[in-house]
A and B are shown apart, each in its own frame.
Chain A
Amino acid sequence: NAGVTQTPKFRVLKTGQSMTLLCAQDMNHEYMYWYRQDPGMGLRLIHYSVGEGTTAKGEVPDGYNVSRLKKQNFLLGLESAAPSQTSVYFCASSYRQSPLYFGPGTRLLVL
């Protein structure tokens, strides 16, 4: 039981490049989330999904897109990366009204 896994662990991008972060969970959770963590800001919700094929915006969705084509996967896309998107990205999953389980994070540096 791997829990929540994230790929890649670390990435460096140049401004304007695109990339996709992959999150996978093997706990059969309905709900999945993407958060970003920045110094002094705590964690802020980017997008979330309450089931396969559904997504919704969180607190800071601008510049990101997501897809949930399979129940176990939740993808976060950056179409045109900006330095302001330098952050640590965490994926999480849960059952409804239950604690979230977090992945180990992806460190992204945009130059």
Chain B
Amino acid sequence: GDSVTQMEGPVTLSEEAFLTINCTYTATGYPSLFWYVQYPGEGLQLLLKATKADDKGSNKGFEATYRKETTSFHLEKGSVQVSDSAVYFCALMDLTGYSTLTFGKGTMLLVSP
């Protein structure tokens, strides 16, 4: 079945550091890929998405590129802020099914001033 693997956290960075959170996936078809962010005590918010190979999703300074050859969708940001501290979830949607999302286990990011 479909699965998503994320790097374990917490990831601890200083403000203005470069961020990478690795995500790889296993899917039988050609899924859409997503990053969601969860701030403390809140629900999940869509951060960015990519629907086909080589697509780059971007939002709020975050980027991720859909790499079919390496089945990866790594999240990057050039300069993190304290306000980026949250849990980040990578997810895939199998477009041949009923549009359900399969999530990774999440990666906590902690940014210190």
Enumerate chain A interface residues (CB-CB to B < 8 A): 4, 31, 33, 40-45, 48, 50, 56, 58, 90, 92, 94, 96-105
Contact = CB atoms under 8 A, between A and B. Distances in A.
Q: Which of B42, B43, B49, B102 has the most CB of A within 10 A?
A: B43
Given A56-B98, A97-B95, A42 B103 contact: yes
Interface string B10-30: 000000000000000000000
Interface of B: 32, 34, 36, 42-46, 49, 89, 93, 95, 98-106
A101 B36 CA distance: 10
* A-B interface, 3 closest residue pairs, ranked by CB to CB distance from nearest: A42-B105, A102-B43, A42-B103
Contact of A41 (B36, B93, B105): B105
Contacts of A97: 32, 93, 95, 99
Given A40-B105, A43-B103, A100-B101, A90 B95 contact: no
Contacts of A41: 105
A97 B42 CA distance: 24
B105 A90 contact: no
A17 B31 CA distance: 40
B55 to A, nearest CB: 14
Contacts of A92: 44, 101
A107 B95 CA distance: 31
A31 B104 contact: no
Contacts of B49: 99
Contacts of A33: 100-101
A90 B89 contact: no
Contact of B89 (A43, A58, A94, A105): A43
A52 to B, nearest CB: 15
A90 B105 CA distance: 15
A103 B43 CA distance: 6
B59 to A, nearest CB: 12
A96 B93 CA distance: 10
